[in-house]
C-alpha cells in the first residue's frame, strides 16, 4: 500500500517541501498587463538582441533560472536536479538551457501544465529522499509558439475570438527540503481527457473537461471543498475555458466562487486585444512564480490550489484532423506562516 497516496490520484507530501525561491521574467506585453508589479523583470525587447526567437526564449529561461538562484543565494552546483519543459518541438528551450546550466536534467512535457508537473515531480524526488534541492522551470514565447502551432507571425493572420495569446515569459521555482516558504502538501495527477474538440484556436474549451476532472478528483481524494483554498488558479483556460469549467463543476455539484481565477484571464487586460486571454507554458508559470508566490510570502494567500492545464496537441495531429487531448495537474501550496 502506497503510504503517501490519498484516494485515487493524489500524492501526499509528508515532509515539509518548500518553494524556497521563485522568479519570473516576462515580455513587454505581459509587462503592460495588470500583474506587472509582481514580475521580477519585464523585458523591453522580446528578442533580447538574439538572432532568433528560439534563442530569445532560451535566454529568458536561463536568465530567470539565474535570477532565482541569485535571489536564493545559491549557485548551479547547489541544485541537484533540473526539471523543465516548454512548448517547442522536442522541448528545445529546456534542453538547450540545460546544456548551458550543467545541472542533471529531466525534460518534462505537459504543455501549459508543465510547471505544475515539474513542481509535483520535484516534490516527489525530495519526498523520496533522492534530493534536497530541485529546480523546475517552464517558459513560452509568443513568437516561437504562435508560429509553431498556428501561423508565421509575420503573416499577420486574423485570430478568432476564442483564440488565446501565448505569453512571453518564464517561471522558475526552487524546491527545498529545508528553509521557509509555501509548502507543497498535495499533488493530484490528472488523466488525459479528450471531448473531441478539434479547433486549435479554442484550446480553453478543449482543456476545461480535464481541469474539471482533476479538480473533482482532488476534492474527493483530499476531502476538501473549494472553500478550503484562498485561491484556486487554473492555467490557462482563459475566459471561454474557465466559464466552461465553472459550468462543468456546477453540474457536478461544486460551485467555484470568487476564490477561483484563471491565469489566462489575469495576465492580460481585455483592452490589450488578446481575445479569450493568455496561454502558454510561461503563463501559469510566471504567475505562480510571481503573483502567487509573493502574495503567499506576504501572508495574503495561505492556501492555494494550482491547476495547470495542457492541450496535448501537435501540428501533425492537428493537420491529420485529430481532436485535442487535454490534461490537468493540481498542486496544493500551503503557507501557514
Residues that bind other proteins (CB under 8 A): 47, 51-53, 143, 146-147, 151-155, 157-158, 160, 199, 201
Nearer to other proteins, 279 or 288 (CB): 279
Buried residues in 284-323 as b, exposed as e (16+ CB within 10 A) = bbbbbbbbbbbbbeeeebbbbbbbbbbbbbeeeebeeeee
- For the beta carbon of residue 61, count every other beta carbon within 10 angstroms: 31
Nearer to other proteins, 134 or 145 (CB): 145
Q: Cα dist. 269→34, 171, 208 in Å?
A: 6, 20, 21
Residue (173 or 241) nearer to other proteins, CB? 241
Helix 92-101 vs helix 53-71: crossing angle, to nearest 10: 50
Task: Write down the least CB distance from residue 166 to other proteins, Å.
Answer: 12
CB of 89 to other proteins, least distance (A): 16
Least CB distance to other proteins at residue 160 (A): 7
Q: Among residues 171 and 241, whose Cβ is nearest to other proteins?
A: 241
Q: How many CB atoms lie within 10 A of CB 129?
A: 9
Cβ of residue 148: shortest distance to other proteins, in angstroms?
Answer: 10
Residue 33 phi, psi dihedral angles, 5° rounding: -85, 180
- In the complex with other proteins, the residue whose CB is nearer, 158 or 258, is 158
**What's the closest the beta carbon of residue 111 comes to other proteins, in angstroms?**
21
- With cell 532568433, the residue in question is 52
Residues facing 10 on adjacent strands: 6, 188
Amino acid at each position: 500500500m502506497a503510504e503517501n497516496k490519498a484516494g485515487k490520484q493524489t500524492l501526499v507530501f509528508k515532509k515539509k517541501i518548500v518553494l524556497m525561491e521563485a522568479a519570473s521574467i516576462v515580455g513587454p506585453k505581459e509587462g503592460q498587463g495588470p500583474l506587472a508589479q509582481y514580475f521580477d523583470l519585464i523585458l523591453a525587447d522580446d528578442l533580447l538582441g538574439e538572432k532568433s526567437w528560439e534563442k530569445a526564449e532560451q535566454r529568458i529561461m536561463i536568465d530567470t533560472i539565474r535570477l532565482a538562484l541569485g535571489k536564493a543565494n545559491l549557485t548551479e552546483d547547489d541544485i541537484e536536479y533540473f526539471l523543465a519543459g516548454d512548448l517547442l518541438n522536442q522541448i528545445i528551450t529546456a534542453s538547450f538551457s540545460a546544456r548551458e546550466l550543467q545541472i542533471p536534467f529531466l525534460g518534462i512535457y505537459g504543455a501549459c501544465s508543465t510547471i505544475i508537473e515539474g513542481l509535483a515531480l520535484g516534490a516527489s524526488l525530495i519526498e523520496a529522499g533522492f534530493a534536497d534541492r530541485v529546480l523546475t522551470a517552464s517558459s513560452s514565447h509568443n513568437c516561437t509558439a504562435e508560429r509553431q502551432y498556428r501561423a508565421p507571425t509575420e503573416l499577420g493572420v486574423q485570430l478568432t475570438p476564442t483564440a488565446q495569446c501565448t505569453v512571453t515569459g518564464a517561471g522558475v521555482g526552487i524546491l527545498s527540503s529545508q528553509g521557509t516558504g509555501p509548502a507543497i502538501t498535495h499533488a493530484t495527477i490528472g488523466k488525459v481527457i479528450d471531448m473531441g474538440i478539434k479547433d486549435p484556436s479554442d484550446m480553453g474549451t478543449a482543456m476545461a473537461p480535464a481541469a474539471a476532472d482533476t479538480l473533482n478528483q482532488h476534492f474527493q481524494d483530499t476531502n476538501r471543498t473549494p472553500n478550503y483554498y484562498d485561491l484556486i488558479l487554473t492555467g490557462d483556460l482563459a475566459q471561454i475555458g474557465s466559464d466552461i469549467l465553472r459550468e462543468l463543476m456546477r453540474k457536478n455539484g461544486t460551485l467555484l466562487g470568487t476564490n477561483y481565477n484563471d491565469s489566462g484571464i489575469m495576465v492580460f487586460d481585455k483592452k490589450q486585444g488578446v481575445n479569450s486571454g493568455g496561454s502558454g507554458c510561461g503563463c501559469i508559470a510566471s504567475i505562480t512564480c510571481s503573483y502567487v508566490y509573493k502574495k503567499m510570502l506576504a501572508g495574503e494567500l495561505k492556501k492555494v490550489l494550482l491547476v495547470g492545464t495542457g492541450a496535448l496537441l501537435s501540428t501533425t495531429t492537428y493537420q491529420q484532423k485529430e481532436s485535442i487531448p487535454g490534461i490537468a495537474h493540481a498542486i496544493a501550496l500551503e503557507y501557514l506562516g
